[in-house]
Structure 1
Amino acid sequence: MGNKSSRHTHSSIKKIREFDKIESEQEKQEKLLDYYLSTDSGSIDRLHMYHFLRGYIFQSNFSSPIEDKLIKGGCKVLDIGCGPGTWLLDLSNKYENSHFFGVDIKPVFPQEIKPNNLEFFEADVINGLSFQDNEFDFTHAELMSLMFMPDQWDFVLSELIRVTKPGGYIEVADRRNGYVGEGPIFRKITDATWASCLKRNIDVKMIYNLDSKFELQPNIGKVHRVEKDFIVGPNGGKIGLVFQDIVISYFTSDMTVKVISEEMGISEEEYRDLTKNLAEEFNQTNTECVHVRFWAQKQLSNGQP
């Protein structure tokens, strides 16, 4: 999630390697969060690639019916947890007459080289958004399911709705944190990943039913769900191969090796030996991955859009 210098990357990895010296559970959770908010160049490259993969899967960058307004111009769009800003850069170049805003807790987005209709802000959405009520025509969040605890999700959704204009759209997109038909190696690794999330009080299954949480918010119309699935690996064609590369790159990165091997109770060398067989396992399995989008229109207080 702008590339960071090698010095910064080394610093992040060094913090993770100090796990055995941590006494406070709060400090350990903060280190885990630092891992999930990794900003090394490898993480950023994966996010760029993953953005275009998701766009290809859905054949669009969003599912809300907002494109006509974006083309017409004057439309204001907010993306929270924007990371390196790939989604916003893509849209701001395509819809030059509309205006785009990105927020992230870490300033890994472009500072200078960006379109004139795009602005970025460093902020933590958990502290609330600094925008006025009813300011945006379209608010968006993607790949944030492992960032927020359930009660935090209630607040994040309420903030997205608050800053959205009546008649505007709110969209949340993510991947189901679970797979179907995976092999034993991939299952062991992903189970350890979900276990590390639970240590931060993250409900990894919440994204399966985010629409029900969405519907509890005031001034929200019908919540729509759009799902797309594919097979990971060569049995899923080109899409499957690209996602396989993303998966293997992630699970063999230095920071992931450290955190997940520790979670599994094995050495880093044993973990690396395990991941060497991932590509072959994907070749022998039909591991299904599901991506989902939820979108809804903000209503007036009397229930009318």
Structure 2
Amino acid sequence: MGNKNSNLKNLKHTRSSSLVKKIPEFGKIESEQEIQEKLLDYHLRTDFSSIDILHAYHFLRGYIFQSKFSSPIEDKLIEGCKVLDIGCGPGTWLLELSCKYENTDFFGIDIKSVFPQQIKPNNLEFIKADVTNGLPFNDNEFDFTHAELMSLMFTPNQWDFVLSELIRVTKPGGYIEIADRCCGHVGRGPIFRKLIDAVWASFSKRDIDVKLINNLDSIFELHPNIGKVHRIEKNFIIGPNGGKVGLIYQDIVISHLNSEIAGKVISEEIGIFNEEYKDMVEELVEEFKRTSAESVHVRFWTQKQLSKE
């Protein structure tokens, strides 16, 4: 079984590990530039284990919302249209949709080349580019533009620009959708709160507003040529008290916290030794059994207004 447009037949022996670059260990970093590149990899989640986490997280979000998108665009996808995903990462969302909707052309943009270079359907193209420098497309080019898990990548000023770019490249009557998780402390125990506060502090040092996503619909509506911004929220409990979904998300959280890069950044932010940090992560698993830490995921979708003539 497989998509008739896929290149898998000729490339089935290609190892997926050749498609991503293994990042160096912290101990081997020598220059300030290398340090900043390493931290960029942390914030962009581009090491091998993080890419696996992103794949798992993609399917979990699809299960939570019972769909891969909320915009009313499916009829156009079936008929054939043009779709853009910014910050596409390893391309999981695009790979799934491009196989399902063979008549539609899909494009993915990311600052890091962690997406497949060869093993992909023919109706899917990946482009390495920094969206904060502007999208390399003409005005009114896409029927559907999409961004997911990008709230911690942009400063508020960059968000204004990115939103304007998404609007610019979307056709009048086309749809724009942004999905992410909200920032909050509901039900969190002291260990989880301390770890998450350290994560947020590391982003704040880069002028990232970690709470911006909570009110993105209001920010979005300030832009011209935008209709009503629809907001859909889904929440669940992290850990065994949240059932199967909660346990899966707990595994995702713990896997990320146990990564070498996360451990380095977070332990330094808290001001503790690495071994103490590892003990905290182990204790967090037990804390999840006693608490009802809530995770809230949100989707915003809107339609670009038709041109007035």
- TM-score by length of structure 2 reads 0.91
Alignment deviations for residues 43-74 of structure 1 (CA, whole Å, 9 cap, x no partner): 0000000000000000000010001111122x
Whole-Å separation in 2 of the counterparts to 1:225 and 1:121: 29
1:216 CA drift (Å): 0.9
User: Residue 138 in 1 paired to residue 144 in 2?
Assistant: yes
Displacement of 1:177 in angstroms is 2.4
Q: Per-residue displacement from partner, 1:241-291 (whole Å, max 9, x unpaired)?
A: 100000000011100000000000000111001111111111111111000
Would you say the 8 A contact 1:161–1:298 is kept in 2? yes
1:279 maps to which residue? 285
Cα gap change, 1:88 to 1:12, in 2 (>3 Å): farther
Residue number in structure 2 paired with 1:229: 235
Alignment coverage as a number of residue pairs? 295
**Secondary structure at 1:293's aligned position in 2?**
strand
Q: Distance in 1 between matches of 2:25 and 2:214?
A: 31
- Partner Cα separation in structure 2 for residue 167 and residue 6 of structure 1: 36
Match of 2:69 in 1: 62
Q: Does 1:196 align with 2:209?
A: no
**Counterpart in the other structure of 1:163:** 169
Partner of 1:220: 226
SS at match of 2:84: strand
Checking the alignment, whether the CA contact within 8 Å between 1:179 and 1:290 is kept in structure 2 is: no
Give the Cα–Cα distance (whole angstroms) in 1 for the partners of residues 264 and 189 of structure 2. Answer: 22
Residue 103 (structure 1) aligned with residue 116 (structure 2): no
- Cα displacement (A) at 1:4: 5.1
Per the TM alignment, residue 300 of structure 1 is displaced from its structure 2 partner at its CA by: 2.7
The Cα RMSD (Å) is 2.0
**Is contact 1:12-1:38 (8 Å) kept?**
no
Residues in 2 aligned to 1:6 and 1:276: alpha-carbon distance in whole angstroms: 32
Tell me, in whole angstroms, the C-alpha distance in 1 between the residues paired with 2:286 and 2:18.
Answer: 34
Contact 1:143 1:174 in 2 (8 A): yes
- By how many angstroms is 1:178 displaced? 2.5
Deviates most, 214-223 or 35-44: 35-44
From 23, 47, 65, the equivalent of 1:40 is 47
The residue that corresponds to 1:9 in the other structure is 22
Q: Name the SS for the 1:91 alignment partner.
A: helix
Aligned amino acid, residue 276 of structure 1? E
Question: Any gaps of 5 or more consecutive residues in structure 2?
Answer: 1-14
Counterpart code for 1:49: A
Rounded Cα–Cα distance in structure 1 between residues aligned with 2:207 and 2:36: 10
| Gap runs ≥5 in structure 1 | none
Corresponding residue to 2:181 among 175, 184, 204: 175
Per-residue CA deviations over 1:12-38 (Å, capped at 9, x if unaligned) read 6457x66xx75xxx9876653332123
Give secondary structure in 2 for the equivalent of 1:299: coil
Kept in 1, the 8 Å contact 2:41–2:47? The answer is no
The two structures have a TM-score, normalised by structure 1, of 0.92
* Residues in 2 aligned to 1:261 and 1:135: alpha-carbon distance in whole angstroms: 45
User: Paired residue for 2:8?
Assistant: none
Q: 1:218 to 1:47 in 2, by over 3 A?
A: same
Q: 1:12 to 1:138 in 2, by over 3 A?
A: farther
Quick one: distance in 2 between partners of 1:7 and 1:118? 18
